[in-house]
C-alpha cells in the first residue's frame, strides 16, 4: 500500500472512530475545553487566485479578523476540465506561498487553512488524484458546476424543470460516489440558475435521488456543506434548503461544514451565525473544520 493510500485509510478510520465515539459518549466528553470558545468558522472562501475572486488574500484575512471570524479556509477553484473557466488558472505554488505568508502575518489572530474547491471530482479523477498526491491540503470541497461540457446555466436552456433539477442531482450522485472530497459543496446550486426560469424545486419529487446521495456521503464520510451564498441568490435560501438539511439529519447525517463562498471581503462569514442557530435548533452541537484533510469537531 502506497503512502498516500495508507494516509487516506488512516484518515477515514479516524473519521469513523470520531463519529462512533460521539455516538457512544455524546459530545460533552469530546468537547471539554473548547465548549466555552465561540468558533466562528468560514470554510469556503475565494481570492484572486480563483478566476472570479475579487480580493487579495491579505485583504480577506484582515476583513475576516475584523468580522470576528476565528478560522477561515481558502478554497480556490480548481478544475482539470478544459471547458471550465478555472482550467489552468490556479498557480498552486504561489497560492501555497501566499497562504504561508498570511499565516505569518495573521496566524496569531486567526486560523488559516489551505483548501481547494474542485469541480466535477468524478471526471478525470485519476488526473485529480495525481495532482493531490503532491499537495498538503487541509480541505477539499467537491462541487458540480457543469453537466457534461456545459455550465449549469447553459445546461437548462431548452429543458423542462424536472429534467434540469434531476440532471443536476444525478451529477451530484456520481460526484460523491466516485470523487475524492471532504465535503460536497453547495448541494442544490442548480436553483441559483433554475429558480428564475422554473421556480424552486420540491424535494419530495427528488426524494429517492437525494436520499441516495446522502447514503453515499454518510457511507464515505463526506460532509455536507451549508453554503450561505444562496441567501443572496434569487431563491434567497441556503444551499441546501432547510428541508433537504432536515432529511440529511433524519438519515443520521452528522458531518456539517459551513461556508460563505465569499468572492469579496464584504461577503465573508455572511449568515454563518444564523446557520449556527439553525443547526442548534436541529440538535447539532458542532460542525467540522479540516486540518490536513482530517475532520476536527468545533462546537457551535
> Which positions lie near Zn ion, rule CB under 5 A?
117, 143, 261
Q: Are strands 146-147 and 223-227 parallel, antiparallel or unpaired?
A: unpaired
Q: How far is the CB of 125 from Zn ion (least distance, A)?
A: 18
Nearer to Zn ion, 184 or 288 (CB): 184
Distance separating alpha carbons of residues 216 and 183, to the nearest angstrom: 12
Q: How far is the CB of 152 from Zn ion (least distance, A)?
A: 10
Which residue is nearest to Zn ion, using beta carbons?
Answer: 143
Our CA dihedral for 198, 204, 206, 211, rounded to 10 degrees, sits at 140
Q: How far is the CB of 141 from Zn ion (least distance, A)?
A: 7
Nearer to Zn ion, 46 or 298 (CB): 46
Nearer to Zn ion, 186 or 293 (CB): 186
Distance separating alpha carbons of residues 95 and 99, to the nearest angstrom: 6
Nearer to Zn ion, 98 or 254 (CB): 98
Nearer to Zn ion, 144 or 256 (CB): 144
Q: How far is the CB of 4 from Zn ion (least distance, A)?
A: 25
Helices 190-198, 161-178: crossing angle, 10 deg rounding: 170
In the chain, DSSP finds a helix count (H) and a strand count (E) of 11, 11
Q: Is the peptide bond before 240 cis (omega within 30 degrees of 0)?
A: yes
Q: Which among 175, 120, 126 is positioned nearest to 150, based on CA atoms?
A: 120
Q: How far is the CB of 298 from Zn ion (least distance, A)?
A: 20
Amino acid at each position: 500500500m502506497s503512502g498516500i493510500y495508507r494516509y487516506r485509510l488512516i484518515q477515514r478510520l479516524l473519521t469513523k472512530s470520531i463519529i462512533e465515539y460521539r455516538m457512544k459518549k455524546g459530545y460533552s466528553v469530546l468537547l471539554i475545553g473548547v465548549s466555552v470558545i465561540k468558533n466562528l468558522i468560514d470554510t469556503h472562501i475565494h481570492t484572486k487566485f480563483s478566476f472570479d475572486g475579487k480580493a487579495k488574500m491579505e485583504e480577506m484575512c484582515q476583513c475576516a479578523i475584523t468580522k470576528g471570524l476565528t478560522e477561515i479556509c481558502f478554497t480556490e477553484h480548481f478544475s482539470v476540465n478544459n471547458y471550465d473557466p478555472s482550467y489552468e488558472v490556479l498557480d498552486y505554488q504561489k497560492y501555497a506561498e501566499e497562504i504561508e505568508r498570511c499565516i505569518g502575518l495573521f496566524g496569531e489572530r486567526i486560523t488559516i487553512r489551505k483548501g481547494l474547491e474542485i469541480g466535477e471530482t468524478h471526471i478525470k479523477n485519476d488526473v485529480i488524484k495525481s495532482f493531490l498526491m503532491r499537495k498538503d491540503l487541509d480541505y477539499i470541497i467537491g462541487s458540480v458546476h457543469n453537466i457534461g461540457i456545459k455550465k449549469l446555466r447553459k445546461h437548462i436552456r431548452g429543458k423542462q424543470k424536472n429534467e434540469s433539477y434531476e440532471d443536476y442531482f444525478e451529477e451530484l450522485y456520481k460526484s460523491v460516489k466516485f470523487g475524492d472530497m471532504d465535503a460536497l459543496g453547495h448541494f442544490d446550486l442548480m436553483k441559483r440558475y433554475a429558480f428564475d426560469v422554473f421556480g424552486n424545486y420540491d424535494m419530495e419529487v427528488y426524494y429517492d435521488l437525494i436520499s441516495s446521495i446522502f447514503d453515499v456521503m454518510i457511507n464515505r464520510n463526506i460532509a455536507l456543506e451549508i453554503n450561505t451564498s444562496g441567501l443572496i441568490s434569487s431563491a434567497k435560501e441556503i444551499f441546501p434548503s432547510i428541508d433537504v438539511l432536515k432529511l440529511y439529519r433524519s438519515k443520521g447525517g452528522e458531518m456539517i461544514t459551513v461556508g460563505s463562498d465569499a468572492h469579496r471581503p464584504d461577503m465573508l462569514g455572511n449568515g454563518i451565525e444564523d446557520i449556527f442557530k439553525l443547526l442548534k435548533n436541529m440538535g447539532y452541537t458542532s460542525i467540522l473544520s479540516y486540518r490536513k484533510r482530517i475532520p476536527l469537531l468545533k462546537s457551535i
